Each structure stands twice: as C-alpha cells, then as structure tokens.
A and B are shown apart, each in its own frame.
Chain A
Amino acid sequence: MSAIASRVLSAGVLLVWAAVLLYFELSGRVANYLHPAFHFWTFSSAVVLAAMAAALLLTRPSDSDAPPIRWPARLFGTGVLVIPLLLATWISPSQFGATAVWNRGFVQDVGDLAAYQPPMDPPLPREDGSIGEGEPMNPSLYLPRNEKGQLQAEAIDLLYAAKEPTLRPDFENKEVEIIGQFLPARTGNADGDRFNLVRMFVLCCAADARPLAVTVKAAPGTSFPEMEWIKVTGRATFPVESGRHTPLVIADHIEPTEPPPETFLY
C-alpha cells in the first residue's frame, strides 16, 4: 500500500510539473520568461514528464532495490516541489517590476552589453541583395517605419547608434517611434523633464535580463506608473554627456500602449 501511494504521489508531482510547463508553453507566457531557443526544450520536458507519470501509473513496479520510503521527508519534498511552483506561477506578473530593474542597474552604454560587437563586420548587402564591399545599406531597407513615416526604433538601436559613429546618422535628428517601460530618472534630471524608457535584454532567461535604458526628454512632470508600457514619438538625439554620446529622445507625444509581442530584446 505504501509503495503504491508513493508511486501515485510521484506521478502526481510529475503531472503538476508537466501541466505547469505545458500551461506556460500553450498560453504563450513562456515567451516572457525564456529565450526562444529554450521553448522547444520546455515543451519537450512537459511531454516527457507527462509520459513518465503515465508510465508510473500504468506499469507494475520493477521490484528494483528502491530505498525505503521515509514519509515525512517525502511529504516535505512534495510540498517543496509543488507549492512554490504553483504560487510563483500564480503571483508572477510575467515581467520584472521596478525594484528588480533598479537593483540590476541600467545599461546605457551598449559596450557594456553581452556579446556586443561593432556592426560593420561583415559587409552589408546592396539593395539588390549582392554583397556591398563595405558600403552601408540604405537604412530605409532595414529600419521599419510606422504609418506616419517615423522610424520604429528599439532601445538597442539607439544605444548602438550612440556608440557607433557609422550608425548614428541613421537616427540622429530623425523622427522615431519607440516602445518601452516607464521609469523615472533618479539622476541627471535637474529640470525634472527626463525619464527612462526601459527594455530588457535577455541571453537565456529572465533571470539574466539586463535593463537597457534610453533617456526621454518631455514636458516637466510627465509621469506614468512605474514599468507601464508607453509609446514615445519624437526626435532622436545623441548629445555628449559624461564624456560619451548618449541617446536622448526629445518627445513630441507619449501614450500608454500594449506590450509588444516580444517583450524581450535579444
């Protein structure tokens, strides 16, 4: 009886994990937690765990030399495996809040970013698709625009443009539309007219996410709830501050918006 109960309990824990993994995968929430390269493995794990649970329930014990069951430890382990998982699944808002972002600190120099490399190597292709020998491609071919003709830039585009003189003309003094999460500026904001527009850059999973921040200049007192998704349209500039070019968007219009389909940048 004890062995059967233990087997059913094990199968139950495996099924809970399989269900949670499957839920994240099928609901699309997994995209807010993991790099796309890991999605397949999460889904596969769910399938394997479910299959293992089914096999446990449908097969006769193998008579192997299993260690004796210690029920107190067993029940404690089951609690550790199930309760935090379900609680965290329920509580987790699928994005970091302001506390974690402040604690991690902003990346405002793309050179501090993992795997940063200058963008001119290898040469970009010509408009007809042939390899241009060192010629930069017409930016209109790789930079999307909205219906008003404004460049739809990402935070990482502007950080690269600040760092790389060859990319800067693609954005400097151009009208841009950029989406990110609002955080107030705690430093360098003597006139009270600046805030940070934040996007998370991820290598593997949200735990290694680093907040990329672009400074936005707007009417003094402009404010939104911390980490609310907003869309900013305005002019991209790259003034020299603290000895280096930094991206600064002079905002014309700011409005709350829905999160983009991919909340992470990779």
Chain B
Amino acid sequence: MSPGWFQFSAEDFSYAFISVLLEGVPFILLGTLVAGVIDQFLPSKTMVRFLPRNAFLGICLSAAMGLFFPMCECGVVPVIRRLIAKGLPVSNAVAYMLAAPIVNPIVAVSTYAAFRGQAAAEFTFLRLGLGFFVAVVAAFAVHNLTVGKVLRREVIESATLQPDAGGVAIRPFGRRLVGALESGVRDFLDVMVYFVLGVGVASVFSTAVNQEIIIPLALNEWTAVGSMMVLAGILSLCSTSDAFIAATFTAFPGTAKLAFLVFGPMMDLKLLFIYSAVFRKLFVAGLAVGLFVFIGLICVRLGVLGI
C-alpha cells in the first residue's frame, strides 16, 4: 500500500502551522518595531538625500544594504513599507526587499555551513551574487513603472500623508515614542494577517503533499530547476535555514539548488500574502512570474555552462 500524492491531517497541519508561527513571530515583531521607529524618528526624504542621484548606483546600493542591515524576508516588508512612506523610491525599496534576505552575512555563513563538502565557497558566492543581480534587475523593471501600478492605494495615501521633516521634529519625544508604538502595532497586525494566511497554505503543502513525487523531476535540468523553485515556493522556509534543506536534495543538480536558494527568499507562498500588504495584487503576481522565469533561465543557463 503506497500513500497517494495528497493526504490531509488536521493535526499535522496545525502542528506545522503553529511551529512556523512560533518561529516567525519574533522576526516580524522585530521588523515592525524597526518600522515604527523609522516612521516616527526618521525625517521624510532623509533616505533620498543619502542615496546616489544615479538610479543605477542607488539601486545597487539598496540591494547591498542587507550586508549592513540584515533582515529576513518576513521582517523586511514592514520596514520597506515605512521607508516608502518616508520617501524612499519604490525601486530602491524593492531592491532592498528582494536582496536583503539573501545578501546578508547570516545567510552567507549558513549557506557556507550547509554546503560544506559541496564547493561551499563557490556556492555561497553564487547565491549571494545571483541574489544581488536578480534584485537589481527586478528593481530596474520597477523603476520604469508608475507608483500606482506597484503600490496599494492605502500605501500611497500613507506616503502622501507623511508630514515633512519639520513636522516630525517639533513633536515631543514621548509622543513620538507612542506614535512609533502605534505605527509598529498597525504594521504588525497588518503583516501578521498575511503571514498567518501564507503559513496556512504552506503548511497544507508541507504536510499533506507526498514529497517523493518530485524526485523523478531531478533527471532533467529544466524540470529540476523548475521543480526546486516550486518546492521553495511551497515550503516557505526562512532564508537563514533554507540552505540546510537544499543541501539535502542530493539527487538534484547544483543549479537547481541554487534556484531554490535564490527564488525562495524572494517569493514563496507566505510572501505572496505578505507582499500583498504593500503591493497591488497584479504587481505581486507579475513579480512572482518574472522572478520564476528569470531565475529559472539563469540557473538552466548556468547548468549548460557546466557550473
């Protein structure tokens, strides 16, 4: 008797569901607290003043900021929401949002550790390099879109409602602290709604779908890369630990694992929901398809080149 491809158990679902919630809440809380402080204490347009005037350099700098301000993919969304409200160009925010969960020292160390004995240094370099490159290209695509096509109406309104720098500075410190709390709570509750929905969907797939069905897909470069990206999307792992999972897929070629490690932190089931707190649904769908195709093509090409 072999199990079918889908068997659901409410107990298994709730167990996986709770475990991811317990693991993820601290990171989202940290992100929303930082976002609250940004909201009340960072004067509007400050970010713009420090960014290079050249759009390309600005996007590259934003994509590299994770090296100094590492954030996981769950925590980064409330932060960029506040940064956008403070005047950070959307393309720069997208560059940081996509790159920071990959291009950061914690992920570099965990990837290196997970791939010990499997060309760890090269793999780590490839992961961070490809993550940076994809984030920059995606941000450039966003640079050419109007804000109305990218952001939700509420986010645009919150950005236009922001008082100028002087307005923020004249409020007493205590009141700004309360404002930071209120802002942090709002962001936490908003993002958590999407996080809970995303974790729910991911938990169904990670407990109810027979994962052995993907093994035959490893035999072909195209299906191997595609299926590993689909798997990354379904499992919705944290970028700090996903390398340990990817490294165990010994049947799959290295480029498929690379696709898993670059696509997953940028787009997965829970992120589909979390991104929807900031971006329009059509944009999120386009971003998901674009990242899937772009990362997939690059990784297949790397495979053809023998990397």
Contacts and interface: CB of A to CB of B under 8 A. Distances in A.
A60 B182 CA distance: 11
Nearest to A82: B196
Given A49-B29, A112-B248, A205-B20, A99 B208 contact: yes
Contacts of A89: 14, 18
Contacts of B157: 67
Interface string B5-46: 001111111111111111101100100010000001000000
A114 B196 contact: no
Contacts of B154: 67
Contacts of B11: 91-93, 97
B15 A96 contact: yes
B10 A91 contact: yes
A207 B186 CA distance: 28
A94 to B, nearest CB: 7
Nearest to A38: B23
A78 to B, nearest CB: 8
Contacts of B235: 207-208
Contacts of B175: 62-63
Interface stretch (B53-61, B110-118, B255-263, B282-290): B110-118
A85 interface: yes
Given A44-B26, A65-B163, A87-B14, A103 B7 contact: yes
B16 A21 contact: no
Interface stretch (A10-18, A162-170, A190-198): A10-18
Contact of B182 (A24, A66, A88, A92): A66
Interface residues of B, number: 71
Interface string B200-223: 100100111111100000000000
Interface in A205-259: 205-208, 210
Nearest to A94: B15
Nearest to B154: A67
Contacts of B10: 91
B146 interface: no
Which of B176, B247, B248 is the most central at the interface, judged by chain A CB atoms within 10 Å of its CB? B248
Contacts of B247: 114-115
Contact of B22 (A81, A95, A186, A205): A205
Contacts of B131: none
Interface stretch (A51-59, A127-135, A141-149, A171-179): A51-59
Given A96-B12, A99-B9, A115-B114, A81 B179 contact: no
Interface of A: 10, 13-14, 17, 21, 24, 30, 33-34, 38, 41-42, 44-45, 48-49, 52, 55-56, 59-67, 77, 80-81, 84-85, 87-89, 91-97, 99-100, 102-105, 111-115, 117, 186, 203-208, 210
